[in-house]
Amino acid sequence: MSAAAIEKVACDKECVTITWTNGRTNRYHHIWLRHNCPTARHKVVGEYTLDPVSIPLDITPAAAHLADEGRLHITWANDNHHSHYDPVWLYTNAYEPEARAERRFRPLLWTTDLLGNFLPEVHYDAIMTGDAALRDWLSLLRQYGFAIVRGVPTESEMVLKVAERISFLRNSNFGVLFNVESMPDPNSLAYTAVKLNAHTDLVSREAQPGLQFLHCLVFDAAGGESILVDGFAVAEELRHTDPKDWELLTTLPIRFRYQDKATDVEAKFPIIRLDADGNYFEVRYSTALLAPLDVDHKHVLPFYRAFDNFSRLLRDPRYEYKFRLQPGDCEVFDNRRVLHGRDEFNPQSGPRHLQGCYIDTDDYLSRLKVLERNGRDFRESMSIIR
Amino acid sequence: MSAAAIEKVACDKECVTITWTNGRTNRYHHIWLRHNCPTARHKVVGEYTLDPVSIPLDITPAAAHLADEGRLHITWANDNHHSHYDPVWLYTNAYEPEARAERRFRPLLWTTDLLGNFLPEVHYDAIMTGDAALRDWLSLLRQYGFAIVRGVPTESEMVLKVAERISFLRNSNFGVLFNVESMPDPNSLAYTAVKLNAHTDLVSREAQPGLQFLHCLVFDAAGGESILVDGFAVAEELRHTDPKDWELLTTLPIRFRYQDKATDVEAKFPIIRLDADGNYFEVRYSTALLAPLDVDHKHVLPFYRAFDNFSRLLRDPRYEYKFRLQPGDCEVFDNRRVLHGRDEFNPQSGPRHLQGCYIDTDDYLSRLKVLERNGRDFRESMSIIR
């Protein structure tokens, strides 16, 4: 990275200030620098072996300067320890608000109009063999929150093969593999033939699964069209049209609960959840698994009103992408962003059989980041190895 | 529940007010009642089939009264629908602040002194055969955040049997079963012989695993004593001694990151996390897996100071329960509340071999709740079946 060359080093009581040759200036606190000395980490494992508690809170450099090889060199006043910092590592880990904002991922929010121009889809043969195709598929998933895999052999458990191409699977009380079809003794509305409003799965669990895979094996029934909705795009519209409702839905924790003979799980989180930086973190939405509302009296009516508004937007044709899965299609979507549903179908008119499974968000993002290393040693990013 | 008999029913524009024979009064919003009419749920599955969006926000009863059989009976003005509510269900689901506070679970916070009087431990034979013993074990785990299982056969993979007595297992990049011993090519400090400060596992994942199981198979090495610390008890002391530090640690999201050849996961949450009601939700603590601090400049020094304070308390002998695992012991602890560590050991002096696995919090609490049903049908609590 040619931008990351140090032009000047200055030092005051609290920070080392680096001026870069591209004009950017970054300040690094002394204790932050001492904690991140490359010698603070285990050379093989890469974890910190230096205990931050052992660093004096008021630590200061005896000297800080730009060394001949372009690195920042510090000698510490308390113990004469020498630290050498790689400029690329310093540049990459700057923590001014602008630097932090630059690192943020911004997904591509969509309406059905946008999908008319470009539908994220990939072919089974490509993703199962090539690492570049796998990376492109994961990038599509991250940007759009979904991507359809075409041409998956219509054999039982192939959905597991597709998912395991990314990572290990996430289990649940419904099993690692679940069969979505109309059943005589269902333990979920998913296993009936009724219409399912667009929703997220496993809302009653603390961690909703990340990626969901639904592979169509057989589909002769009338009805049963699939629905996908970008929950973040809808939330963003609500933020503009009804800021008060948006505010309530992003802050008021709502309880969901699932029970059957062997299971009783509940979770309580806002319907629209933001992360620490105010980005959309997840949508948690199901009309089927709401528990009796358990909030302060003053929130009851405002919640029903806000939920109503959000629900109507989620079902707006501008956002509802409707399509008919074909045998061999596997729809893959970020279950915490893109809500999924289906129209009612008539099980008398023919079978409809999907198989599904989950992977956690951590693990699909991990796979993408490892592919993006392009073979570089992971300790490079810790500046242990250059 | 004899307390849950209705004495009087009153109705105003917004709510139905119930006066109970024990003197308690609860108010229920009309829309809340309509949404929770027993007919709103699927009779087999128990999920809501009534879409809340279909209920008029200003719905009101045409009539509400105490029926002869002791139930609340409402006729709705908009469509003449009749709803009948079981008094026990209404009593149990009241949502006044006092009713909600009563339902909250309060764990038993401990110091080493308290453990001197009572150590939560159970025997393998008891928990593997009896449901009552299983329930008691899970109750201990919920109260104390840990319980040691004695007498587990010292055979490989027995730890999976112990865990699966509760629920299915949680996978991770370290595998469903992990071997904790000093290894030649480690990908975690856990797999070396170094001292590990008390910490929580998988801090770099969004959902830290709930229960952790560590089964001692062989232990001849010198050193390597185990450490357990009640993170909630320590957090509570910090709240009183350094409220500003506590405030910062409960609100400032801190980034953790784990990398090896095949994995790159990160998570950003406060070190001490509270739930929506202000209860302790989890502690996320590791000095080894902190990522370079990525917070606003104004928080850098205050964070290091608060982290330092919390760390010193975590290592205070009043909180550090130290013991030596014996072959056949399996320590089981709530990984998100009770931090675990170990002293350095000398792998030259003899082997030390533990096997471990995880279960999610959702699943151990689910198992406990299902055991507490005592065989009653799950739809009773939804008032579908009486």
Measured between beta carbons, the chain B residues lying within 8 angstroms of A265 are: 362-363, 365-366
Measured between beta carbons, the chain A residues lying within 8 angstroms of B29 are: 297, 300-301
Taking CA–CA distances from A369, the nearest residue in chain B reads B264
Measured between beta carbons, the chain B residues lying within 8 angstroms of A51 are: 197, 287, 311
Confirm if A66 and A72 have CB atoms less than 8 A apart: yes
**Of A151, A323, A166, nearest in space to A229 by CA:** A323
B48 with A362: Cβ contact below 8 A = no
B53 with A192: Cβ contact below 8 A = no
Name which of B264, B269, B276 is nearest A366 (Cβ-Cβ): B264
Question: In terms of pTM, does the model score above 0.90?
Answer: yes
Q: Which segments of A242-330 does DSSP mark as H helices, in order?
A: 243-251, 297-314
- Grouping H, G, I as helix, E, B as strand and the rest as coil, residue A228 is strand
Taking CA–CA distances from A312, the nearest residue in chain B reads B53
Q: Which amino acid is at A108?
A: L
Q: What is the dihedral of CA B91, B96, B99, B100, to 10 degrees?
A: 120
Per-residue pLDDT, B55: 97
Q: Please say whether the dihedral angle defined by the alpha carbons of residues B285, B286, B291 and B294, taken in this order, is positive or negative.
A: positive
What is the share, in percent, of chain A residues with pLDDT greater than 90? 90
B290 with A93: Cβ contact below 8 A = no
| Distance from the A150 Cα atom to the nearest Cα atom in chain B, whole angstroms | 27
Measured between beta carbons, the chain B residues lying within 8 angstroms of A46 are: 259-260
pLDDT surpasses 70 at A1:
no
A296 with B36: Cβ contact below 8 A = no
Measured between beta carbons, the chain B residues lying within 8 angstroms of A173 are: 168, 363, 366
Per-residue pLDDT of chain B (386 residues; tens, 9 = 90+): 456 899 999 999 999 999 999 999 999 999 999 999 999 999 989 999 999 999 999 999 999 999 989 999 999 999 999 999 999 999 999 999 999 999 999 999 999 999 999 999 999 999 999 999 999 999 999 999 999 999 999 999 999 999 999 999 999 999 999 999 988 888 888 888 889 999 999 999 999 999 999 999 999 999 999 999 999 999 999 999 999 999 999 999 999 999 999 999 999 999 999 998 899 999 999 999 999 999 999 999 999 999 999 999 999 999 999 999 999 999 999 999 999 999 999 999 999 999 999 999 999 999 999 999 988 999 988 877 65
Residue with the bigger pLDDT between A385 and A263: it is A263
- Counts of helices then strands in chain B (DSSP H, E): 11, 22
Confirm if A124 and A150 have CB atoms less than 8 A apart: yes
Taking CA–CA distances from A261, the nearest residue in chain B reads B378
pLDDT surpasses 70 at A385:
no
Per-residue pLDDT, B386: 53
Measured between beta carbons, the chain A residues lying within 8 angstroms of B206 are: 207, 360-362
| Distance from the B336 Cα atom to the nearest Cα atom in chain A, whole angstroms | 13
Measured between beta carbons, the chain B residues lying within 8 angstroms of A273 are: none
Taking CA–CA distances from A184, the nearest residue in chain B reads B44
Instruction: Give the span between the Cα atoms of B179 and B144, in whole angstroms.
Output: 26
Task: Give helix B231-241 / helix B297-314 axis angle, nearest 10°.
Answer: 120
The total number of residues shown for chain A amounts to: 386
Q: Which segments of chain B does DSSP mark as H helices, in order?
A: 30-35, 87-92, 97-103, 112-117, 124-129, 131-144, 158-164, 231-241, 243-251, 297-314, 361-372
Instruction: List the structure tokens of B330.
Output: 């399996």
B268 with A261: Cβ contact below 8 A = no
CB pairs A-B closer than 8 Å: 219
| Phi, psi values for residue A361, rounded to 5° | -55, -45
Q: Which amino acid is at A276?
A: A
- Kindly state the average pLDDT of the residues A70-89: 96
Q: Which segments of chain A does DSSP mark as H helices, in order?
A: 30-35, 87-92, 97-103, 112-117, 124-129, 131-144, 158-164, 231-241, 243-251, 297-314, 361-372
Instruction: Give the span between the Cα atoms of A16 and A21, in whole angstroms.
Output: 16
| Distance from the B306 Cα atom to the nearest Cα atom in chain A, whole angstroms | 10
pLDDT surpasses 50 at A208:
yes
Instruction: List the structure tokens of A27.
Output: 């300040």
CA atoms within 13 A on the CB side of A235: 26
Instruction: Give the span between the Cα atoms of B112 and A363, in whole angstroms.
Output: 38
| Distance from the A46 Cα atom to the nearest Cα atom in chain B, whole angstroms | 8
Q: How far is CA A95 from CA A90, A252, B2, B3, B267, in A?
A: 10, 31, 60, 58, 17
Q: What is the DSSP letter of A39?
A: G
Taking CA–CA distances from A364, the nearest residue in chain B reads B265
Per-residue pLDDT, B308: 98
**Of A252, A199, A201, A219, nearest in space to A357 by CA:** A201
**Of A379, A367, A362, A380, nearest in space to A47 by CA:** A379
Instruction: Give the span between the Cα atoms of A72 and A27, in whole angstroms.
Output: 13
Measured between beta carbons, the chain B residues lying within 8 angstroms of A207 are: 206-207, 360
Q: Please give the domain boundaries of chain A with CATH numbers for all domains.
A: 6-103 (3.30.2020.30), 112-371 (3.60.130.10)
Measured between beta carbons, the chain B residues lying within 8 angstroms of A379 are: 259
Select from A203, A264, A385 the residue whose CB has the most chain B CBs within 10 Å, as the one to mutate to test that interface: A264
Q: Which amino acid is at A377?
A: D
B300 with A57: Cβ contact below 8 A = no
Measured between beta carbons, the chain B residues lying within 8 angstroms of A259 are: 46, 378-379, 381-382
| Distance from the B117 Cα atom to the nearest Cα atom in chain A, whole angstroms | 32
Q: How far is CA B140 from CA A322, B104, B265, in A?
A: 50, 17, 32
- Kindly state the average pLDDT of the residues A112-119: 95
**Of B197, B166, B195, B229, nearest in space to B366 by CA:** B166
For residue range A4-45, what is the model confidence (pLDDT) as tens digits? 899 999 999 999 999 999 999 999 999 999 999 999 999 889
- Grouping H, G, I as helix, E, B as strand and the rest as coil, residue B61 is strand
CB atoms within 10 A of CB A111: 18
Name which of A27, A253, A260 is nearest B297 (Cβ-Cβ): A27
Element (H, E) at B267: strand B264-269
Taking CA–CA distances from A195, the nearest residue in chain B reads B49
Q: Please say whether the dihedral angle defined by the alpha carbons of residues A239, A241, A244 and A245, taken in this order, is positive or negative.
A: negative
B47 with A189: Cβ contact below 8 A = yes
Name which of B29, B362, B378 is nearest A301 (Cβ-Cβ): B29
| Distance from the A186 Cα atom to the nearest Cα atom in chain B, whole angstroms | 7
B348 contacts: CB under 8 Å, gap ≥ 6: none
| Distance from the B48 Cα atom to the nearest Cα atom in chain A, whole angstroms | 4
Per-residue pLDDT, B301: 98
Confirm if A6 and A70 have CB atoms less than 8 A apart: yes
| B66 strand-pairing partners | B72
Measured between beta carbons, the chain B residues lying within 8 angstroms of A47 are: 188-189, 258, 288-289
Name which of A51, A97, A100 is nearest B287 (Cβ-Cβ): A51
For residue range A300-336, what is the model confidence (pLDDT) as tens digits? 999 999 999 999 999 999 999 999 999 999 999 999 9
pLDDT surpasses 70 at A386:
no
Element (H, E) at A11: strand A6-11
Select from B168, B273, B366 the residue whose CB has the most chain A CBs within 10 Å, as the one to mutate to test that interface: B366
B186 with A45: Cβ contact below 8 A = yes
A188 with B45: Cβ contact below 8 A = yes
